[in-house]
Structure 1
Amino acid sequence: MRFPLVISCTLLLPCLALGKIDRQRVVSQFNIVRTNLIDNETTPLQVGNGNFAFNVDNTGMQTFLPFNTLSSWAWHNDSLPTNGELPSDYKGVVRETYGRDVYYDIPDPNLKQATQWLISNPNRVNLGRIGLKYKGKTLDKSLIVNSKQELDLWNGIVTSTFRVDGKDVKVVTQGDFDSDAVAFNIDSDLITSGDLQVELDFPYPPIHSTAYKYEVFAGVYDFPLNHTTTLVQDGTDRTSAHIQHELQELQYFVNLRWPKETPFKLSRNEAPGSASVTAHRYTLTSTSKSCPVAFTAHFSPDQRVPSFPAKIQEKNAKAWNKYWNEGGFVDLTASSNPNATELQRRIIKSQYHVRVNSAAKGQSPQESGLMNNGWYGKFHMEMVIWHNAHWAVWSKQKYFDNIFPELYETFLPSSLARAKYMGWEGARWPKMTDPETGVSSPGDTNAQLVWQQPHPIYLAQLAYQASPTRETLQKWDKFLTATADYMASYAGLNATTGKYDIGPPTIGVTENTPANSTRNLAFEIAYWRYGLDTAACWKRKLHQSVPEKWTHVASNLALPPQIDGLYTVYDGLNGSWWNDTKLNSDPRSLIMLQGILPDTPAVDPEVALRTADKVWDIWTDANIRGWGRPVLAINSARIGNPERAIYHLTAYDYWQFDDAGFAIRGGDGGTPPPFMPGNAGFLLAIAYCVAGWQGSDADTPGFPKDGSWTVKHEGFLKSL
């Protein structure tokens, strides 16, 4: 059921509460507390820094559930196909485009194994499991009672308490913002008696010979002879120990450190070369007679001596405090609206999760973050705005700048080569890709999706808004140039209309349009116009000449198609498409014309408004999934309907966040939480609703002025 549409907004009470926000008070209200043992369908709690995350079960470690330890740098390639096919044999599949044959990265039915290898490689590696063992065996879940676990969000600390055989155990887990390390503090009489120890184990990536969407537990223990681990230093008479793990082309170390007052010793459970599933298991034993004990586990391509755990624990808390105190913040806690508390919970927890999962150096996060291996651990280029635009408008620009434009720098050579191979100028950016080389993963959608192409221009505008300097213009210029060169080159002149078309073949935002007959997708063609116009403005700011082809194509692009005064998904449809369940079950691309897309001459605001109202009528709650709610909220705020905006953000029965605050994708996604574009897109929508967008004047334009919302905010920038 939906709330009735309210057309008018009468101001009853001020929506903005003035005064500095007590951020710690607000954040600490939403600490995550668990009192039941979780299972493999529950999201683990995490510590990490954006490049690295350690995922824990109720023990604060990876004891009875082998959750993952993932990083942005640890990737692995499977063995080559067994039938002799080589990835280099793959050349793509021909699709006619504007009257000529063009090779696209579509699965080749004659090279099935080589195609699958390219799709599934490289894949992200689980760096290892660290858990507890009791009386010589992995601590069994059945022995754990009176469990309580709390994630202190303000300080980034996971505290886990439980009892084993009548004895208390307390584990404190913290990450490090400066390195890929996790620090543990363990307090229990079972440690001093020698009954409770720490174990480390190292899985091997499975052979990804068939298509799949995710691995909850990355890695298997069935191929011990495929990889090696070496005890480099056991810690005897030292405060450190090291294990080297080698998986073909990948080698890395687990570097351990502890205080000299509470020493440990590391031992290998089995002889090297063992074929047992426990062949790569190690035991870390405390040789101290006092508690608590503490150690650091640091994962790195290099052998090194990491920081002492106390140092990491001190730095980690300070770094989290600084994170919460910088940039934007919104406080809804004085609101009387019954939806305010849950909305605040989602805001706070999403901010924690994006810092752990979405703040890598030079990489955008994968859709399942650093929790599990969704899509082999690869991120999707069309999602980079939904993942990362919030950093800029929440005034946390350094996290945005850590990713961009380095990501595009990495992919520029392969994207230039891709466009040239296909017969176009500039850079054709991939969709799902090798994170180091930009090699595209073959797929019908991967090859023919196009809405990622203008993204560098949009992101550059966010960067310039935060820092409107010549340095920003120069830093982004080559990426905008390569992008606009491709966009102008890719559009095809229609001899009948005299206008430039996009496609076929193309696939739209919602990935449900027939590639070989889809021409002039409404959102994509409008985005093309915005991108080319903005790139031309960029050149003028640099006092450079604007390529004539850019302005010619921009001014002669076909307009987004209309039927009966409403926008339609793509050209060639008739009015009956609104009754086509394949299309009307997800018409978000039409909402995006006045969603994240800034104003452009390609979009008629009145037509877009009527279209948004039609979408409200036909896009039912049960069909809205993924990042659909954020874009609907943004659109609603922009068209002056804050009631509808807040409805979309508070439709809790339909858009669910789990107890840890991870967005659930919903619908037919087939993936477990987390769905990081849901969390990050939600934060972007909150920014629109709180601070507005370029050209908006009212404060909190996405919140109803009905007297039930008291919105206190600070530190935001307007969105585009």
Structure 2
Amino acid sequence: MQTFLPFNTLSSWAWHNDSLPANGELPSDYHGVPRETYGREVFYDIPDPSLKQATQWLIGNPNRINLGRIGLTYKGASVSSSLITQAKQVLDLWNGVLTSTFEVDGTPVKVITQGDFDEDAVAFSVESDLIKSGQLTVELDFPYPPIHTTAYKYEVFAGVYNFPLNHTTSIVNQNKKSGSASIHHQLQETKYFANLRWPTQTPLSLTRNEPEGLNATTAHRYTLQPSSTARKSSSISFTAHFSPDQHTPPLPSTIQKRNKLAWNNYWNEGGFVDFTESTNSKATELQRRIITSQYHVRVNSAATGQSPQESGLMNNGWYGKFHMEMVIWHNAHWATWGRQKYFDRIFPALYERLLPSSLARASSMGWEGARWPKMTDPLCATNSPGDINAFLLWQQPHPMYLANLAYRASPTRETLQRWDKVVTATAEYMASYAHLNPRTGRYDLGPPSYGVTENTPPNSTKNLAYELAYWRYALDAAAEWKRLLNLPVPAHWTHVASNLAPLPVVDGLYAVYEGLNTTWWSDPKLTADPRSLIMLQGILPSTPAVNTTLALHTADKVAAIWTDDKIRGWGRPVLAINSARIGNATRAMYHLTAYDYWKFDDAGFAVRGGDGGTPPPFMPGNAGFLLAVAYVVEGWEGSRGEAPGVPRGEGWVVRSEGLVKAL
């Protein structure tokens, strides 16, 4: 309704499983692939070359589906770019109202769209003389998910129209008295309803364009237009509501009123940062990014009980699944911006949902506690097979970091008890996974293992610097959690924590992992992205494992070799955070405002940069940006003074309210 492109209607609850592999392989046949670990055979979730189709099925399923497309038709055909002129679109951020004006074949059209905070619904209003003449109508179309091979790992426009007989749609209710109708969509085990409603004083009629059972790409199209008995009007309004259940949704006027109030409340709650008094030429764009990022995370990243996929609710990346190593970069900003209620909707419910399968995963691999997945979904809660998915480590300590964010916001026994099961299961795994090296008397991590940047050789990578430091922080935090509950601290937690292998050091600087020598600084594979080393004094809170002087010198070395042309993704936020924490405010603000390299599009979405790799937008970019802004403006535990990451005397003037110090 707002664009001539075939965009998506994605949700946090609508998922689908493809048909089973055609060659007869079953997902249940897959049991992982063995890799020697600490002198024994351990089965990991990596692709099995003898079960290629079953492995791919597990990687691609379940997948997030496009609930349907709603758009305009002119004289029976979808409105295309060739027909549109004089296009203008304005987003009223304060009220959450998107207004598009344009001309179709020379006649003005105005479309107003508002999403609903309370239900999975959108309210539309359309004004044009083309409605009165019957030439402009609304079309609903329902795609089917493709077979999710590697070709459909990233879907910009989710769904295809090649399999009309694989799914069914039908009008199951059309009630003229209430001004409502429902379309039932059945895709094998997945089913849901598109519930519609309109004002009875301007009645609409819903009709199917083609007979049921038609084997054509147009088989599941419907038209919504003024009823033949209605008084001719140049405007229509309606609600489109998607739900697993059939019911009568709110009137568009109801959504239009409460939506504005909900957005007003959102902007009035939590923190705000104001750079508008700055004379620095970069201040205006920085302010734009701060405001639009807050809008986009509320739309795309505020689900209940799950973290967003990296492209939010706009496109499908990795089949619509989310990544557990990214949950802090997606969601920690809620806590630092004083919007804790959004954080609490996600955690610890997400980990509670994943706990049974994570306990089973660790047990099957011979360890205690819960081994959290890397790439997963809210339904099956499995770890999608993949080399990186199997060997990545840094998602394991995240629950301790997040639990501390929750406790700082609400330092009560209730918070401690709510998180205790997750904290305990995490610590049990971490203490169990660490392996006592009989030669050194220290506990090693890996191999096999992958570091933060996923560019180390997994079969030989041992004792990654950041992962060792994070392990120490998390085990210490778990022990303190027990003390706060007046419960005994398991002795093996503290023993492993205090006897972890030391962080690898080469020539007075930290190295990415153990066994490297001075030449690693000339290895383009490693220096293309050495962000894990700046995270030692960045996102990671203070821990005895990290020598702050060494970390500072290492950060300066990284700044010299990790040049602007190499930085992408959430690299800028972590660089800004690290720079602020080591006392280099000028460098911190540079990374937040490196506009020539770190692009935000005209809508305010962060661009991932580099090789792309995922469909836009890149939500960790917006969310990580907000987290970094909170760091430089409000500071972190132990920081001193106001705005410790904002340089003095460079034209920057900042005011803020409602922010909370980071960990």
State the TM-score, normalized to the length of structure 2. 0.99
1:493 maps to 436
Aligned to 1:158: 98
1:712 corresponds to which of 629, 652, 655: 655
Are 1:578 and 2:502 an aligned pair? no
Counterpart of 1:5? none
1:164 deviation in Å? 1.6
Displacement, 1:435? 2.0
8 A Cα contact 1:235 1:265, kept in partner? no
Give the corresponding residue for 2:133.
193
TM-superposition CA deviations, 1:405-461 (whole Å, max 9, x none): 000010000000000000000000000013223111000000000100000000000
C-alpha distance in 1, partners of 2:613/2:477?
Answer: 37
Partner of 1:472: 415
Alignment map for 1:526-537 (pairs within 5 Å) = 526-537=469-480
Which 10-residue stretch deviates more, 216-225 or 157-166? 157-166
Which aligned pairs between 1:300-449 and structure 2 lie closer than 5 A?
A: 300-449=243-392
- Post-superposition CA distance 1:651-675 (Å, at most 9, x none): 1111111111111111123233210
> Counterpart amino acid of 1:278?
T
For residue 114 of structure 1, the aligned residue among 24, 29, 54 is 54
SS at match of 2:449: coil
Residues of 2 paired with 1:634 and 1:571: CA distance?
Answer: 25
Instruction: Note if contact 1:235-1:266 (Cα within 8 Å) is conserved in structure 2.
Output: no
Aligned 1:78-93 pairs, distance under 5 A: 78-93=18-33
Query: Does the Cα contact within 8 Å between 2:8 and 2:66 map onto a contact in 1?
Result: yes
| Residue number in structure 2 paired with 1:99 | 39
Deviation at 1:235, TM superposition (A): 4.2
1:366–1:378 CA contact under 8 A, matched in 2: yes
> Structure 1 residues 212, 501: CA separation in 2 closer, same or farther (over 3 Å shift)?
farther
Matching residue of 1:224 = 164
Separation of aligned partners in 1, 2:398 and 2:491: 21
1:632 aligns with 2:594: no
Partner SS, residue 223 of structure 2: strand
Paired residues of 1:116 and 1:211 also in contact (CA < 8 A): no
**What is the SS of the residue equivalent to 2:600?**
coil
CA distance in 1 between partners of 2:83 and 2:582 (Å): 57
Match of 2:185 in 1: 245
Contact 1:417 1:427 in 2 (8 A): yes
Corresponding residue number in structure 2 for 1:39: none
SS at match of 1:453: coil
| Residue 449 of structure 2 is aligned to residue 506 of structure 1 | yes
Secondary structure of the 1:412 match is: helix
Q: 2: distance between equivalents of 1:131 and 1:498? A: 66
* Distance in 1 of aligned mates of 2:268 and 2:150: 46
Q: Matched residues in 2 for 1:503 and 1:707: separation?
A: 46
Q: Is the 8 A contact 1:410 1:437 kept in 2?
A: no
The 5 A counterparts of 1:488-567 are 488-567=431-510
SS at match of 2:379: coil
Q: C-alpha separation between the residues in 1 aligned to 2:542 and 2:351?
A: 25
User: Structure 2: how far apart are the matches of 1:294 and 1:343?
Assistant: 37
CA shift at 1:238, angstroms? 4.0
Matched AA of 2:652:
W
Q: Match of 1:44?
A: none
Counterparts of 2:150 and 2:565 in 1: how far apart (Å)? 31
User: 1:208 and 2:110 equivalent?
Assistant: no
Deviation at 1:194, TM superposition (A): 1.0
Query: Is the contact made by 2:97 and 2:113 (CA closer than 8 Å) also made in structure 1?
Result: yes
Q: Does 1:299 align with 2:242?
A: yes
Q: Report the CA distance between 1:706 and its aligned residue.
A: 1.0
Give the whole-Å Cα distance in 2 for the aligned partners of 1:97 and 1:138: 57
**Per-residue Cα deviation, 1:94-151 (whole angstroms, up to 9, x for no partner):** 0100000000000000000000000000000000000011112222321111111111
Distance in 1, matches of 2:638 and 2:42, equals 42
Query: 1:495–1:432: structure 2 CA closer, same or farther, 3 Å change rule?
Result: same
Residue number in structure 2 paired with 1:54: none
Alignment-derived partner of residue 614 in structure 1: 557
SS in 1 for 2:72: strand
Give the Cα–Cα distance (whole angstroms) in 1 for the partners of residues 606 and 79 of structure 2: 31
Aligned counterpart, 1:178? 118
| Partners of 1:234 and 1:267 within 8 A in 2 | no
| Structure 1 equivalent of residue 13 of structure 2 | 73
Letter in 2 for 1:208: H
Q: TM-score, normalised by structure 1?
A: 0.91
Identify the residue that residue 270 of structure 1 maps to in structure 2. 210
Gaps of 5+ in 2: none
CA distance in 2, matches of 1:670, 1:408: 27
CA distance in 1 between counterparts of 2:152 and 2:437 reads 39
Write the letter of the residue equivalent to 1:129.
Answer: R
1:286 matched residue in structure 2: 226
CA distance in 2, matches of 1:234, 1:475: 46
CA distance in 2, matches of 1:140, 1:397: 43
Gaps of 5+ in 1: 1-58
Contact kept in structure 1, 2:130 and 2:234, CA below 8 Å: no
- DSSP 3-state at the match of 1:518: coil
SS of equivalent to 2:82: helix
Deviation of 1:213 after TM superposition, in Å, equals: 3.8
Q: Structure 1: how far apart are the matches of 2:352 and 2:614? A: 30
Q: For residue 148 of structure 2, what is the amino acid of its counterpart?
A: H
Moved over 6 A (4+): none
SS of residue in 1 equivalent to 2:246: coil
Q: 1:257 aligns with which of 194, 197, 212?
A: 197
What code does the residue aligned with 1:69 have?
A: T
Partners of 1:509 and 1:209 lie apart in 2 by 26
1:43 paired residue number:
none
Contact 2:131 2:234 in 1 (8 A): yes
Which amino acid counterpart does residue 32 of structure 2 have in structure 1?
Answer: G
Tell me, yes or no, if the aligned pair for 2:205 and 2:226 is still in contact at 8 Å: yes
CA contact (8 A) 1:418 1:428 kept: yes
* Separation (CA, whole Å) in 1 of partners of 2:570 and 2:620: 6
Counterpart among 616, 632, 635 of residue 692 in structure 1:
635
1:124 aligned partner: 64
Distance 1:631 1:212 in 2: 30
RMSD: 0.9
The residue type paired with residue 315 of structure 1 is R
In structure 2, distance between residues paired with 1:671 and 1:87: 26
Whether the aligned pair in 1 keeps the contact of 2:45 and 2:389 (CA below 8 Å) is yes
Residue aligned with 1:142, SS:
coil
Task: State the one-letter code of the partner of 1:219.
Answer: G
Q: CA deviation at 1:163?
A: 1.2
Alignment length, in residue pairs?
660
Q: Does 1:137 align with 2:80?
A: no
Identity of counterpart residues, as a percentage?
73
Give 1:131's aligned amino acid. G
